[in-house]
Amino acid sequence: MATQEAPQRAKWSGKWAFILSAAASAVGLGNLWRFPYLAAKYGGGTFLLTYFVLVFTFGLSLLLLEIAFGRKTRLSVFSAFRSYGKRYAPIGFLAVAVPFIITPYYCIIGGWVTKYLTAYVTNSAASIADVGGESGAFFTSFITSPVASQVFMLVFMAITVGVVALGVKNGIEKANFVMMPALIVMAVAIAIFTIVQPGAMEGVAYYLCPDFSKFSPELVINALGQMFYSLSLAMAIMITYGSYVDKKDNLPTSAARIVSFDFIVSFLAGIMIVPGAFIALGSADAVAAKAGPSLMFVTLPQVFSDMGFAGQIVGFVFFLLVLFAALTSAISLTEACVSNIQDATSWSRKKSLGIFTVFLVVCGIVINAGYSGLSFIQPMGEGSTLLDFFDFISNSVLMPIVAICTCIFVGFIIKPKAIIDEIRQSSTFGAAGAWAFMIKFVAPVLVLVILVTNILPYLGIG
């Protein structure tokens, strides 16, 4: 059983430090970049409503599970699973593999954001939106540049590693205390600014009013996948963060706050971006057809460019907000990796971070070169990149596998009661019955559906 306690386990300085840091991990590129394009693509309001329901039932239950499991074992993920017997170590191993795969490519996208931020300082909004009459040219020429894209990635990595080097209390908590409130203020300001733009109301209506004819199983699967990614679930993060939580903290309340925070930022991101896409692209159908990963880096700069000089300022504030969100998530990913290296090897925190940094830089450079020197490697078919491949492996394959294994492990091996008892140490947890049902039966089935739908197209079926 989980009795061994790591000797100098870090601790949050308080309940709010934990809530804020977990929210900071959750709020990231997933909210600002991924959520709006999925919402735009899958019918606006319909997607928003489905996402809301999933997040506050299913997402909340899984988040609570991870935090409570972390707090119960007081170990990081790999050791937490192993403490129940060697045969469960592979679940921990897979879970830990996820942040190791995500962090390098997350930093590449963080580098893109850093580049855009500096570009809005030095260039006019028009020159970022449009190079030689081609709207995506700025983006494409940057990401395919062999040197500049690496430099910006390294800058982003340096800030991330720098904060983690300062430790849980002095680095992570302090950085989040500054960046998270700033992020919210900027998000609200830009959302208001967007709504008052001429022509924005049509987009706002599309985003807020559900049209049930747009409902589809594909929509639900994408909403579920987004939820996992956005809440940083099944990625060893929340278990690690939970392991630093005080035994007196009320876990259901904390989990509900984290989930709400994350949802609000996604919601605001939609308000900032979906109406903009409407203004730039014209109609719901055009938005649905064109919405994709390039929404933030190509379509949105067009919207800023149409605002004239104000566009340069809005563009700057917008990318600062995205940078903060990306940094706080990258910090949490790095922290999860480092804390797991430390526990698995009993190296010092410093040594673990040093070795992880070498890994991060080498993998980042190689994956990033997938857009330039190594672009002949197209692991997922014509035109795909190394980044697409690692994103697919981590989010579409490993994440659902880890989620299913975790639910089965808690539901049938250690039994929900073990986690319920942990939660009840500091709260009444009236919803324990519904929660256990969710973890044992609903979650594994739903996640299995996500896994199968993700993988089938690559096996030539479906």
Site for ligand PHE in 314-353 (CB under 6 A): 329, 332-333
Provide the H-helix boundaries in 123-172. 125-129, 137-143, 148-165
What CA–CA distance (Å, rounded) separates 281 from 131?
A: 18
Q: Which residue has the tokens 């250690």?
A: 414
Closest alpha carbon to 31 in 231, 186, 216: 231
3-state helix, strand, coil in the chain (%, to 5): 80, 0, 20
Question: Residues touching ligand PHE: how many (CB under 6 A)?
Answer: 16
DSSP state letters, 257-315: HHHHHHHHHHHHHHHHHHHHHHHHH-SHHHHHHH-SGGGTTTHHHHHHHHTTHHHHHHH
Contact 28, 103 (CB under 8 A): no
Q: Which is nearer to ligand PHE, 23 or 204 (CB)?
A: 23
Element (H, E) at 396: none
Contact 32, 183 (CB under 8 A): no
Q: Does 232 sit near ligand PHE (CB under 6 A)?
A: yes
Q: Which is nearer to ligand PHE, 26 or 274 (CB)?
A: 26
**Closest separation between CB of residue 340 and ligand PHE, Å?**
13
Contact window for ligand PHE (CB under 6 A) among 21-29, 142-150, 209-217, 245-253: 21-29
Outline where DSSP puts E strands in 343-451. Answer: none
Q: Which residue has the tokens 């600002």?
A: 32
Site for ligand PHE in 129-188 (CB under 6 A): none
- Contacts (Cβ under 8 Å, ≥6 apart) of 362: none
What CA–CA distance (Å, rounded) separates 111 from 109?
A: 5
Q: Does 235 sit near ligand PHE (CB under 6 A)?
A: yes
Site for ligand PHE in 236-275 (CB under 6 A): 237
Local structure of 210: helix, strand or coil: coil
Q: Which is nearer to ligand PHE, 254 or 305 (CB)?
A: 254
Site for ligand PHE in 97-116 (CB under 6 A): 99, 102
**Closest separation between CB of residue 319 and ligand PHE, Å?**
15
**Closest separation between CB of residue 277 and ligand PHE, Å?**
20
Q: Which is nearer to ligand PHE, 39 or 333 (CB)?
A: 333
Going residue by residue from 278 to 317, which x/- string records binding to ligand PHE, judged by CB under 6 A?
Answer: ----------------------------------------
What CA–CA distance (Å, rounded) separates 181 from 201?
A: 27
Q: What is the rounded end-to-end Cα distance, in angstroms, of the chain?
A: 43
Going residue by residue from 23 to 62, which x/- string records binding to ligand PHE, judged by CB under 6 A?
Answer: --xx-xxxx-------------------------------
Q: Which is nearer to ligand PHE, 99 or 416 (CB)?
A: 99
Closest alpha carbon to 446 in 410, 418, 407, 390: 407
Site for ligand PHE in 192-231 (CB under 6 A): 229-230
What CA–CA distance (Å, rounded) separates 279 from 287?
A: 10
Q: Which is nearer to ligand PHE, 97 or 436 (CB)?
A: 97
Q: Which is nearer to ligand PHE, 305 or 406 (CB)?
A: 406
**Closest separation between CB of residue 102 and ligand PHE, Å?**
6
**Closest separation between CB of residue 153 and ligand PHE, Å?**
16
* Contact residues for ligand PHE, defined by CB under 6 A: 25-26, 28-31, 99, 102, 229-230, 232, 235, 237, 329, 332-333
